[in-house]
Structure 1
Amino acid sequence: MSPLVDPAPLQRLRSDLGGDTMAQNRFVNDFLALWHTRELRLHTALASADLDDAHIVLLSIRSSSQMIGAVRLENTAGRLHSTLHDRDLPGCQRQMPRLSEVGVDTCLALSRHIAR
């Protein structure tokens, strides 16, 4: 697919869903539809120093990324999550543009994959 997405987790997800490609694609479409909401929620949480909400959003991004094989997004969110764990809000803010960029690129790669 692309260096952004590892197809193996997507294949496992489809297998876990009984081989149902439509269900797998619905899951991916839900991920795509939620990306901007998650990104905005994370921006808001960091801007207001709401570490708990930022933690929840990053867990959501990381776990769903892992399920669909969005390896670069998962890794990028993981680095930001580690910075958050250190309570380094300025460091988190500096990483947000990269997370946003990787998120958009990942969404485009996934969109192309399910459009086939």
Structure 2
Amino acid sequence: MDLDHTGVSADELRRLLRELSGDLLSRRRFVRTYVEMWPTRLSRLVAAIDDDDLDETKVVLLSIRSSSVMLGVTGLAHLATQGLHALERHDLIECRHVRDLLAESGDRACERLLELEATESMLGR
């Protein structure tokens, strides 16, 4: 069974907007920054795992998870959590699997985030 790891939550985007006191431009900047930083985060993760650098792998997975949770990018947040659990078990095979899933899903999740943010902004929410 293939799981869709590209999910994005409109509810979380709305929650962020409330936390930003309704400032749509600030939310848009958060979204764009997330999307712009995705390739760098992914390349850092690839390098860390390829180098068996567990500390850096943890830092990057925490970064992916926290930023994804904040913006409602639920699929990538779930994968990052899965990677962190694998790291705790020193399961580098699973870490590599998670890395591959993040690589496969990340760009599409970013596209969905941009699409949802544009729709939500047009609706004023």
Structure 2 distance, partners of 1:94, 1:84, is 12
> Matched residues in 1 for 2:54 and 2:113: separation?
29
Deviations along 1:35-85, one digit per CA (max 9) or x if unpaired, are: 010000001111111111110111111011111111111111111111111
How much identity, in percent, do the aligned residues show? 37
1:64 aligned to 2:62? no
State the match for 1:108 in structure 2.
111
Q: Which residue among 8, 18, 27 is the counterpart of 2:30?
A: 27
Aligned partner of 1:48 among 46, 51, 63: 51
- Structure scoring higher RCO (CA < 8 A, sep ≥ 6) equals 2
| Runs of 5+ unmatched residues, structure 1 | none
What is the alpha-carbon root mean square deviation over aligned residues?
1.3
Unaligned runs of 5+ in 2: 1-5, 120-125
Tell me the equivalent position of 1:97. 100
Whole-Å Cα distance in 1 between the matches of residues 10 and 89 of structure 2?
32
The normalised TM-score by structure 1 is 0.91
Aligned residues: 114
